A and B are shown apart, each in its own frame.
Chain A
């Protein structure tokens, strides 16, 4: 699946987007957040506080218990500060 990163997550990861292939054991957004943190030093830094990270599946807000099955795009970002 395609992964996108925004704001300080993008800066810490060092990429705006990439393709990821999580193992079958990763079934929810929460699982994915934990798995991402284990992908290397920059990811560990970016995902060190999963409770402050928001996620979207196929451009819709998704909670930690949302299943990732069938999603082709996941995005990770800090709480939004628009307006």
Chain B
């Protein structure tokens, strides 16, 4: 959890170097879209303490489910300008399947179970309504409880 911009390349490189057995690193970066010029920034509120605890809980679940040598999640909060990165998820493993699956599961949890809320700041500086949760995000999450290994 941090306000500052992160270096996704450096994070992915660190995962690759963590262990000589690593054969695959999958990293995902989520960015703030400008919604065709309508959006200037996102304001992200979070629940300190619970955000860390939820991410740690899901990361432990991913580590129990797949053979991983590294797993990293970074989520920013505060004001994030269009074009800036918001979230980073990286997973390292011996083979690609585990790395892809772990990164995707962690990301699906971050979208709908980690306590973060987004609100759009429009191009004219006005605050828009809070972003509504997408039903598709809940559906994405359900896959992981239905399709156990």
Contacts and interface: CB of A to CB of B under 8 A. Distances in A.
Given A4-B47, A6-B45, A77 B132 contact: no
Interface size class, chain A: 10 to 19
| Across the A-B interface, the 8 shortest Cβ-Cβ residue pairs | A82-B116, A79-B133, A7-B117, A59-B50, A83-B111, A81-B131, A83-B110, A81-B118
A82 B75 contact: yes
B53 A83 contact: no
16 contacts: A6-B47, A6-B115, A7-B45, A59-B47, A59-B50, A79-B132, A80-B114, A80-B115, A81-B130, A81-B131, A82-B75, A82-B110, A82-B112, A82-B114, A83-B30, A83-B114
Given A75-B50, A82-B114, A7 B133 contact: no
A6 B111 CA distance: 16
Interface of B: 30, 44-47, 49-50, 53-54, 75, 86-87, 107, 110-119, 129-133, 137
A83 B118 CA distance: 9
Nearest to B114: A82
Given A60-B50, A79-B133, 11 more contacts: A6-B117, A7-B119, A7-B130, A59-B47, A61-B113, A75-B115, A80-B111, A80-B116, A80-B133, A81-B130, A81-B131
